[in-house]
Amino acid sequence: MKIEEAVKELRKHEKRKFDQSIDLIVNLKGVDPKRESLSTVITIPHPLKEKSVCGFFTKKSGVLSTVTQPDFQKYRDKKTLKKLVKQYDFFIAVAPLMPAVATTFGKVLGPSGKMPSPQLGIVSSEDDAAIKSMLQKINSSVKIRVKEPSIKVSVGREGMSDEKLIENIKAVYTGIVAMLPTKKENVKSALVKLTMSKPVGVEL
């Protein structure tokens, strides 16, 4: 069904006591995620929620939680490191510290998909303006790493208007297709669903 009809169909489901998230599921064909590394960062027109972010800097920041270089050594303990990585959605770093960040935190940040990258997460300076600009970018971005032949990504919340949801769904779908080796030919099907509902097939 068309995207507008699919969103209306989701609205018919029983209301829950929380603001359910709306997910887009894109099932792939002709792609082997184990053989080819597929990842992208997509900017969405309507941010979902503020993400919790931690920065690796040379000095404490007044804008966000910070791990400064002298503190790096205490994260050599894997348990402490895992706890830190679990605590935040995103990590950013100032460019000159990246080699030290990779050495100390890479073994856990890498597999969890939270390693600061040139696309999203590396700032050129530690001034508040640069950090705020990066936070704005993070909050309006969706990071996608393909690990299996089905991509599931949160694109909105029930409380958003149909118009905003549709714009987000289209933006994320377009970004996913652009990342695929043979574009739309790699898409088997697309579906949308609420946290607690069954998926609804959608034509995009």
Of 143, 140, 139, nearest to 117 by C-alpha is: 143
CA-CA distance, 28 to 50, in Å (whole number)?
29
Of 188, 167, 182, 180, nearest to 25 by C-alpha is: 188
CA-CA distance, 162 to 39, in Å (whole number)?
28
Does one domain contain both 152 and 166? yes
Does one domain contain both 60 and 133? yes
Does one domain contain both 26 and 62? no
Does one domain contain both 179 and 118? no
* 139: alpha, beta or left? (left if phi > 0; alpha if psi -120 to 50): alpha
Q: What is the pLDDT of residues 15-31, one digit of tens each?
A: 888 888 899 999 999 99
Does one domain contain both 122 and 153? no
Indicate the residue among 123, 139, 155 that finishes a domain.
Answer: 139
Q: What is the pLDDT of residues 169-202, one digit of tens each?
A: 999 999 999 999 999 999 999 999 998 889 999 9
At residue 175, the pLDDT reads 95
Q: pTM to 2 decimals? A: 0.75
Q: What is the pLDDT of residues 32-44, one digit of tens each?
A: 888 888 888 899 9
Q: What is the mean pLDDT of residues 95-105?
A: 94
Q: What is the pLDDT of residues 141-159, one digit of tens each?
A: 888 888 889 999 999 998 8
Q: Does residue 17 or residue 2 have the better pLDDT?
A: 2
Structural domain including 64 reads 53-139
Does one domain contain both 61 and 108? yes
Does one domain contain both 62 and 134? yes
Does one domain contain both 65 and 90? yes
CATH number of the domain encompassing residue 34? 3.30.190.20
**Domain count of the fold of the chain:** 2
Indicate the residue among 139, 167, 192 that finishes a domain.
Answer: 139
* 113: alpha, beta or left? (left if phi > 0; alpha if psi -120 to 50): left
Does one domain contain both 123 and 147? no
Does one domain contain both 10 and 58? no
- Residue owning tokens 């080819």: 36
CATH number of the domain encompassing residue 77? 3.40.50.790
Instruction: Answer positive or negative: Cα dihedral of 190, 191, 192, 193.
Output: negative
